[in-house]
Amino acid sequence: MFGVRELRAIAEFEQVYALFEAIWRFGDAAPPVTVELMRALTHAGGYAAGAFDGDRLVGASVGFLAAGDALRSHVTGAVVPGAGHALKLHQRSWARQRGLARVTWTFDPLVRRDAHFSLAKLGARPVAYLPDFYGVTGDAIGLGEESDRLLTEWPTAPGPAPVPAPGCPRGAAVALADDGGRPVPGRAAARRYGAGGGPRRRRAAARRRPGRGPRLAARRTGRARRAHGRGPGRHRVLQQVLLRCGEEGVKITGVELRRIAMPLVAPFRTSFGTETARDVLLVRVVTPEAEGWGECVAMSEPHYSPEYVDGAADVIRRFLLPALPPALDAEAVGRALEPVKGHRMAKAALETAVLDAQLRAAGESFGRFLGAARTRVPCGVSVGIMDTIPQLLDAVAGYLDEGYVRIKLKIEPGWDVEPVRAVRERFGDDVLLQVDANAAYTLADAPRLAKLDAFDLLLVEQPLANDDLVQHARLARLLRTPICLDESIESAAHAAAAIELGSCSIVNIKPGRLGGYLEARRVHDLCRAHGVAVWCGGMLETGLGRAANVALAALPGFTLPGDTSGSRRYYATDVTEPFELADGHLRVPSGPGLGVEPLPEVLAEVTTATEWIAL
């Protein structure tokens, strides 16, 4: 996980110059950028950022403002896997915050990993093929070759970057062919070149073909990489394969719906009811290369939201699976399921399972995919409504002893001011304290809610009805305590409306309520751009859902501790290896996909029903 920040000081630019020298070894050749130029660009409003692993600079990027509302990324280099991806996400966010429509850059289309990174992983769109764009290169990587480049652009509009083709799977490839000077998808076969058939000769030959431009491709996987060997007897392989939309790809072979019964270690009471156990719906997506898991957070009864677990299973079975794209592509899932109105928790479970399978196949973690900036996250705990105040104080004391860094108290009319007063008086002002009403109040209760201002709370969460942004905006003007919205935020569009109306100054991001982790990331990006704090809420998830939540909570905009409690807060035995609190934090899983696996023996013991649906 990396922290990415803008650079401004001469000393920082000198670090970037040294990093680029270590990567390109340009020696006496012209460097891609100088210390003086970085200083001038940033002073004029340009872009320079570094990716840091602790205090160590592991990647950097420099760009400038270009015509047509664009940030032109001039050079990006990294020495640690994942740092380049983190820098690109930072570029996109930086450009979007400044009203720029896209990020553009060029890359050598004969370098397989660069083509995969730009076109397949980021989903940038090819714009133009630029023969010998920089002239003959002189650094140690270019080896004096001509510098053919592919110009790409990456939209900055809210939401994830587009993908070049639905279902771009592991093992697929992206190919480009020239049509009137513009790259377009096309088919090509692997070509073997003998001695002397290096990129320069291949490019010249391609330009000489009458009526045909260069076919340039990059395989996503496989052992054939660009060879730098030169001279007699040395061969190079330029692999050129097309992924035509929908024709190839790793197919989803089937989906399993699994119900498990998870008893809670203690009853959990909120303003809408008491839970003693969870009836959990797990979704398992299976492909020939990997399988992925998603956890549906819908409750047994439709009290927190209109969704409930039996209904979620039914809508997945009858409506969502028939609409699911056949290829393994999480980005396409949301678009395909959009015609089905609502049912966000069901959609989130299915999309998460697809994303988990996709990332496991690619060997990429949830955290790295989402853009996590930390390797561990601070954890708060949610404390339910108790029968007595002494019982509440004992529970809070126990959680503080375990190391939780923030306490959230559930409240309702009749259980609000006095419990909060008792906790504050017992544990002091240093404890981070907030309350959650779960929509239990009306605007007429504003005078009572205003009494909570005396206790220096971090926030009051969802005091009014979930569908009433206007009344929340009025209440916000009556309270000193910041208002946080939970149930009211079901999409990035809802978050934008709430921010515009002044309905809240903090947002609780729950991926299940939002329809999945891709939409959750959009809400994060939106709030961060508007200076609105966010934190990650919880829905009593098992280790499968908790793993994804912890990865999400590691994004840079999550500045408040979330409800990402350790496993034993709710379950004596989790379905995965338990998440253990260490110094008030949970570690972000770093393995492929969710980074955790269900324990077969535990899963078998708690399973109440399974259903296999072949696709």
Q: At what angle do helices 469-476 and 492-501 cross, to 10 degrees?
A: 40
Closest CA to 120 of 186, 217, 224: 217
- 50-63 burial, b if ≥16 CB within 10 A, otherwise e? bbbbeeebbbbbbb
Maximum Cα–Cα distance across the chain = 87
Which letter does DSSP use for residue 319 in this model? I
Sheet containing strand 406-410, edge to edge, reads 380-383, 406-410, 432-436, 460-461, 483-485, 506-509, 533-536
DSSP letters of 428-473?
Answer: -TTSEEEEE-TT---GGGHHHHHGGGGG--S-EE--S-TT-HHHHH
CA–CA separation, 225 vs 113, rounded Å? 8
Closest CA to 166 of 354, 292, 333: 333
Closest CA to 254 of 317, 179, 177: 317
Using alpha carbons only, give the angle 44, 45, 47 rounded to the nearest 5 degrees. Answer: 115
510 is known as an active-site residue: yes
Catalytic residue among 88, 121, 347, 410: 410
Residues 250 and 169 sit within 8 Å (Cβ to Cβ): yes
Which letter does DSSP use for residue 573 in this model? S
- CB proximity list for 164: less than 8 A, separation 6 or greater: 119, 120, 123, 125, 174, 243
Residues 334 and 515 sit within 8 Å (Cβ to Cβ): yes
Q: How many C-beta neighbours within 10 Å does residue 158 have?
A: 14
Q: What is the 3-state secondary structure (H, E, C) of 152-196?
A: EEEECCCCCCCCCCCCCCCCCEEEEEEECCEEECCCCCCEEECCC
Residues 93 and 521 sit within 8 Å (Cβ to Cβ): no
Sheet containing strand 254-270, edge to edge, reads 291-296, 273-286, 254-270, 607-614
CA quadruple 354, 357, 363, 367: dihedral positive or negative? positive
251 is known as an active-site residue: no
Catalytic residue among 88, 347, 408, 510: 510
Residues 199 and 221 sit within 8 Å (Cβ to Cβ): no
Residues annotated catalytic, as ranges:
410, 510
